[in-house]
């Protein structure tokens, strides 16, 4: 009887250990098997890109895939967003995985069999359309993750919410969109997500490598609008008026001293860029007004507030000193993408297991912005970067994101799928 009891106990303990053990070898097999499909999906999305809030075909493809996997699917969130809910066989935590879907108004120059020749309308203008930032890879990778984990549903103790997000690059003028609108429409609430994970392909990181950072990782993006009011006069007699073009030029120079002389750059980087300058109608008229439009990038909330105050003060005082008047408006586009330090430290082990410890390295902060930061304001979040640069290429020779020559090596996609799957399994286990 004692031997029978002992045998039964050992069987139960063995079964429990098997149930609790990470199923990573099986993940690896499933990822290898699905890699050709991930590449095919990516090529299809690359050849058929869609602009922000117009991702209709992409959303249809994602929806059909998730439904075929037996997931609970919700559509039409933030215009074209799709959410798939995978409930494991056992109860447990709820985590969110995000992939953005939109392309950019860029004409592709890369000579690929699946090169984009698509066109569309952007803010009233006819434009070429290209996945010049890699969101096509994000969608394909996430579809692969969903398929792998759906086949392991019986082994999952928790729920995964797959969030396919539109308009990461920003909605068209006059429209809402992106992560902020998805959150406003309840994407984090039912079921209630307790942690969020996301990745971004990177054209300057070698294939097979992962980059990460704890804390402020990508900058907040604020846009400023400065309208300078002068006094119109004949261009031959500028002393009869107040030239808003000259005043605006002085403001542009003054704004750069905020970076070079007023910000502690040993703490975090700051960028102030004027990207648009509108004034005048002809050569011999000093106009009444001029307008500057630009962006501010910061990685620290205190520095962000200080920079805003200094932009307003600099513009107003320079204008006042010349007898002009400046109106300043600052608009927040995206918050800082902030990686929760505890979650980052925990996730590092999963990424090292997926890629190899030597291939996972800490990175410097980026002054580019990402609306994934909206999720981080609501729940602990972790955002990392997946290598997409060919191994034989030098980073300074790789085309930048958002350019016509942007290129991604497809051999890195399987690491993206595996990394997400490992994060899910480890999170549920712990």
pLDDT tens for each residue of 66-123: 999 999 999 999 999 999 999 999 999 999 999 999 999 999 999 999 999 999 999 8
- Say which CATH topology domain 21-219+336-429 has: Aminopeptidase (3.40.630)
Strand partners, 271: 297
Gap between the Cα atoms of 50 and 356, Å rounded: 35
Find the mean pLDDT for residues 376-398: 97
- Helix%, strand%, coil% for the chain, nearest 5: 40, 30, 30
Active site residues: 102, 168
Start-end of CATH 3.30.70.360 domains in the chain: 220-334
Start-end of CATH 3.40.630.10 domains in the chain: 21-219+336-429
Query: Which residue, among 265, 278, 366, 246, has the nearest Cα to 307 in the 3D structure?
Result: 265
DSSP result, 320-362:
HHTT-EEEEEEEEEE--EEE-HHHHHHHHHHHHHHH-GGGEEE
Find the mean pLDDT for residues 127-147: 98
Classify 220-334 by CATH class: alpha beta
Gap between the Cα atoms of 194 and 93, Å rounded: 7
Query: Which residue, among 86, 187, 70, has the nearest Cα to 424 in the 3D structure?
Result: 86
Taking the whole predicted model, whether its pTM rises above 0.85 is answered as yes
Confidence of residue 11 (pLDDT cuts 50, 70, 90): very low
Contact 92, 158 (CB under 8 A): yes
Cα(first)–Cα(last) distance of the chain, in Å? 36
Gap between the Cα atoms of 290 and 278, Å rounded: 6
Contact 140, 45 (CB under 8 A): yes
Gap between the Cα atoms of 264 and 269, Å rounded: 8
DSSP result, 93-126:
EEEEEEEE---BS-------TT----EEEETTEE
Kind plus residue range of the DSSP H or E element containing 265:
none
In sequence order, which residues have a C-beta less than 8 Å from that of residue 121 and are 6 or more positions away? 127
Query: Which residue, among 68, 211, 82, has the nearest Cα to 150 in the 3D structure?
Result: 68
Residues above pLDDT 70, as percent of the chain: 95
Residue owning tokens 């600052």: 330
Gap between the Cα atoms of 71 and 292, Å rounded: 48
Mind listing the pLDDT tens digit for each residue in 295-312?
Answer: 999 999 999 999 999 999
Lowest average pLDDT, out of 12-21, 22-31, 259-268, goes to 12-21
Contact 244, 279 (CB under 8 A): yes
User: What pLDDT is stored for residue 148 in this prediction?
Assistant: 98
Mind listing the pLDDT tens digit for each residue in 149-208?
Answer: 999 999 999 999 999 999 999 999 899 999 999 999 999 999 999 999 999 999 999 999
């Amino acid at each position: 009887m004692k031997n029978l009891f002992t045998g039964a106990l050992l069987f139960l303990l063995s079964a429990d250990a098997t149930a609790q053990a990470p199923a990573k070898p099986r993940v690896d097999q499933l990822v290898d098997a699905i890699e050709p499909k991930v590449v095919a999906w990516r090529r299809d999305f690359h050849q058929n890109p869609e602009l922000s809030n117009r991702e209709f075909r992409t959303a249809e493809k994602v929806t059909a895939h998730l439904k075929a996997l037996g997931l609970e699917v919700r559509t039409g969130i933030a215009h074209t967003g799709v959410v798939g809910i995978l409930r494991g066989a056992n109860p447990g935590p709820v985590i969110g995985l995000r992939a953005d879907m939109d392309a950019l108004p860029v004409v592709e120059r890369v000579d690929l069999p699946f090169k984009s020749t698509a066109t569309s309308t952007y803010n009233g203008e006819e434009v070429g359309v290209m996945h010049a930032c890699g969101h096509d890879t994000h969608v394909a990778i996430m579809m692969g993750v969903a398929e792998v984990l759906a086949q392991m549903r019986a082994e999952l103790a928790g729920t995964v919410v797959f969030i396919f997000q539109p308009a990461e690059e920003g909605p068209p003028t006059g429209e809402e969109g992106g992560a902020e609108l998805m959150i406003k429409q309840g994407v984090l609430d039912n079921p209630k997500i307790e942690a969020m994970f996301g990745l971004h392909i990177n054209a300057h990181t070698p294939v097979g490598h992962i980059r990460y950072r704890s804390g402020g990782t990508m900058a907040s993006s604020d846009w400023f609008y400065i309208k300078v009011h002068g006094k119109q006069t004949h261009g031959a007699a500028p002393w009869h008026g107040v030239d808003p073009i000259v005043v605006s030029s002085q403001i542009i120079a003054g704004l750069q001293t905020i970076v070079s002389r007023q910000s502690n750059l040993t703490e975090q980087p700051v960028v102030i860029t004027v990207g648009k300058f509108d004034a005048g109608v002809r050569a011999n008229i000093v106009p009444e007004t001029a307008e500057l439009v630009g962006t501010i990038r910061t990685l620290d909330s205190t520095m962000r507030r200080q920079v805003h105050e200094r932009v307003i003060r600099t513009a107003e005082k320079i204008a006042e000193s010349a007898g002009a008047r400046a109106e300043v408006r600052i608009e927040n586009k995206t918050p800082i993408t902030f990686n929760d330090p505890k979650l980052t430290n925990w996730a590092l082990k999963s990424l090292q297991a997926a890629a190899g410890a030597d291939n996972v390295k800490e990175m410097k902060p980026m002054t580019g912005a990402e609306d994934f930061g909206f999720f981080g304001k609501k729940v602990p979040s972790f955002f990392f970067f997946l290598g997409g640069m060919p191994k034989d290429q030098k980073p300074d020779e790789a085309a930048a994101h958002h350019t016509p020559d942007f290129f991604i090596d497809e051999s890195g996609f399987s690491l993206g799928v595996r990394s997400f799957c490992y994060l899910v399994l480890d999170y549920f286990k712990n």
